[in-house]
Amino acid sequence: MADLPRLVMMGTGTFARPTFEAILAEASAQVVGLVTQPDREGGQQRGSTRLAERGMKEMAVERGIPVLQPESINTPEGVAALQQWQPELLVVAAYGQILSREVLAAAKQGGINVHASLLPKYRGAAPIAWAIYHGEKRTGVTIIRMSVGLDAGDILAQETVDILPDETAGELETRLGPLGARLALETVQRMEAGPVNGMPQDKTKVTKAPKLTKEMGLIDWTKEAAQVCNQIRAMQPWPTAYTYLHSAGQLPMRIIICKARLAAAFDAAQKPGEALAVSNRLLIAANSPGLVSIDELQPAGKRRMSAADFLRGKPISPGDHFGPERP
């Protein structure tokens, strides 16, 4: 097999790291540079399931691979630095920036992108979270030939996996990373062996997966219970799903809901957000069918705990309910 082209890896965090590891492990790979997000305070860059970590940077430095960490690779300075490496192909995974035409032109063969969805569904920064949020049963990884449009390039490879019933966005991202790595390496090898024809995306099936914000974690208890459970899973590990407990004579208590599941509804009708304590279980009413059973939560300023531990310190009283901070 011929040596792989001169590659530049562009990516950050949990999903991207396996692809970088796979490329580094390939004996014929010529990795001439890594472009990753700048180091952030606490080592984290919020805004999606993506975490900005120093792991990929450390891997590159250990191997003597130069590293770029610009706030924007699309500046003239960023493009010039990239050009100095004389790459033949860019391999991009969860990098967090839309690449300009000039950046893509810095590599003779342009770039391929490792995207954590079944494109054309869920184009954007947070495809894993939005797939779970919308109750998808299946997702996967797509390799596309990069274009200036957001995740709009021709499909070069795609593989599907089931989303597990209780899987969070963080857990699914960890599971999809190695799949993306395998598909990316196979695609690069195919490209080096000869021309690879891609399949255009069906524009009529495009959906969006925008960057997550803290506000997206606020639970709306007027939604169906299944949708609330999906939201809680989708918002892990960030921004996390949250709500406020309202008790008579007390200030609203902000609570992060870490883990929840569907529970059967009672015969009596409950109003959305109504809190119920049954046999050390914390149940919250949403729109039927069903209730939301809280397994783990984290009150503001306290540790993560089981619902049973929470109820021992804060028993539910008649009239207690969950909702936004202000009605």
Question: Which CATH number characterizes residue 289's domain?
Answer: 3.10.25.10
* Shared domain check, 236 and 94: no
Q: Is the preceding peptide bond at 327 cis, omega within 30 degrees of 0?
A: no
Q: Is residue 84 part of a domain?
A: yes
* Shared domain check, 19 and 140: yes
Q: What is the CATH number of the domain that holds 175?
A: 3.40.50.170
* Shared domain check, 142 and 267: no
Task: Give CA torsion, residues 285, 291, 297, 301, to 10 deg.
Answer: 0
Residue 47: predicted pLDDT: 42
* Shared domain check, 160 and 30: yes
* Shared domain check, 172 and 28: yes
Q: Rounded to whole angstroms, what are the CA distances from 313 to 184, 310, 316, 319?
A: 50, 5, 10, 18
Structure tokens at 86: 């004389």
Q: Are strands 291-299 and 111-115 parallel, antiparallel or unpaired?
A: unpaired
Residue 309: predicted pLDDT: 97
Q: Which of 173, 205, 237 is the last residue in one of the domains?
A: 205
Angle at 35 between CA 207 and CA 129, to 5 degrees: 30
CA distance 184 to 26: 12
* Shared domain check, 195 and 51: yes
DSSP line for 46-112 = -SSS----SHHHHHHHHTT--EE--S-TTSHHHHHHHHHT--SEEEEES--SPPPHHHHHTSTT-EE
Residue 259: predicted pLDDT: 97
Structure tokens at 26: 């390939």
Residues 6+ apart with CB under 8 A from 242: 217, 218, 219, 254, 255, 256, 257
Q: Which of 205, 237, 252 is the last residue in one of the domains?
A: 205
Determine the structural domain holding residue 179 and report its residue range.
6-205
Residue 3: predicted pLDDT: 77
* Shared domain check, 290 and 201: no
Q: Is residue 114 part of a domain?
A: yes
**How many Cβ atoms sit within 10 Å of the Cβ of residue 195?**
6
Q: Which of 166, 181, 205 is the last residue in one of the domains?
A: 205
Q: Is residue 263 part of a domain?
A: yes
Q: Decide if 13 contacts 51 (C-beta within 8 A).
A: yes
Residue 39: predicted pLDDT: 87
* Shared domain check, 220 and 200: no
Q: Is residue 130 part of a domain?
A: yes
Please list the pLDDT of the chain residue by residue as tens digits (327 residues): 467 899 999 999 999 999 999 999 998 889 999 999 998 764 444 444 445 555 899 999 999 999 999 999 999 999 999 999 999 999 999 999 999 999 999 999 999 999 999 999 999 999 999 999 999 999 999 999 999 989 999 999 999 999 999 999 999 999 999 999 999 999 999 999 888 999 999 999 999 999 999 999 999 999 999 999 999 999 999 999 999 999 999 999 999 999 999 998 776 678 999 999 988 899 999 987 889 999 999 999 999 999 999 999 999 999 999 999 997
* Shared domain check, 23 and 63: yes
Q: Is residue 1 part of a domain?
A: no
* Shared domain check, 65 and 13: yes
Q: Is residue 282 part of a domain?
A: yes
* Shared domain check, 275 and 164: no
* Shared domain check, 218 and 197: no
The pTM assigned to this predicted structure is 0.93
